[in-house]
Every structure is written in C-alpha cells, then in structure tokens.
Amino acid sequence: MSFAAGAFGALVTSVVLWFAGTYHLTARLGIGIAAPSLTPSWLNPRIVAGGLWGFLFLLPLVSGRWWIRGLILSLAPTAYQLLYVYPREAGQGHFGLDLGVLTPAYVIAANALWGLSAAWLLRATGRA
C-alpha cells in the first residue's frame, strides 16, 4: 500500500505540475521549467519513482499526525532533487537556481504535495 500511496501522490503532483506549466504559472514566477506534456511517457517514470519513494512510509521514523508525517517524508525526495539531480545530472546549479530563484520553493511545494497526497491515501485506507 505504501507503493500505491506514493504512486498516487506522484499522480496528483504530476497533474498539478502539468497545470502550472500549461497555464504559465512557472514562467510567471521566473522558473525555467518547461511545461510538461500530460502523456504516458512523461507520467509513467514519475508514478513509478513516486511509488518507490512511497516505501519511506514503511519506516517507523515519524509518528503522529498524518500530514506532518507526509511533510517530513517529502523532504527526502526534495533533498535528492535539489542536492543531486539539479546540480549533478541536469547541470542546473546548486538547488536548481540556474532555473530561477524560486525553483527550490517550487520543488519543496511539489514534493510536499506528494507527501501530503500519499499520507492522506494511507490514512483514508486505514494504513497510516
């Protein structure tokens, strides 16, 4: 169920990111992330990766309110993206700042949405 919750969180987040890109919210905020196309080839890797990150919910590290747990666990994919993917794999500078000053806030918000969505699904199914 943790994988399913993570995949659900990734789906929710992907749709929101698509919406933000398609309606030029990211461009208006000065974030140089291109608007994604809502296609299976764009969605599938994100849903699988979100499901894999969902295994974090199996760890007994964070207990308490579901939404706090979701926010805290969302820091892991955030750190990975900001500290590894952007500077090393994508060459976009530390924290992705070459894409815009608000890029770190955008990544934090997107991953927080993932964590909240996944934690909510676990709570709603009685698995939290």
How many helices (H) does the chain have, and how many strands (E)? 6, 0
- Mind listing the pLDDT tens digit of every residue in the chain (128 residues)? 999 999 999 999 999 999 999 998 999 999 988 878 889 999 999 999 999 999 999 998 777 799 999 999 999 999 999 999 998 877 888 898 988 899 999 999 999 999 999 999 999 998 87
Q: Could you tell me the residue ranges of all domains in the chain? A: 2-124
- Residue 92 has what pLDDT? 84
Neighbour-count burial for 83-122, b at 16+ CB within 10 Å, e otherwise = eeebbeeeebeebbeebbeebbebbbbbbbbbbbbbbbbb
Instruction: Determine the residue type at 3.
Output: F
pTM of the entire structure? 0.91
* End-to-end CA separation in angstroms for the chain: 10
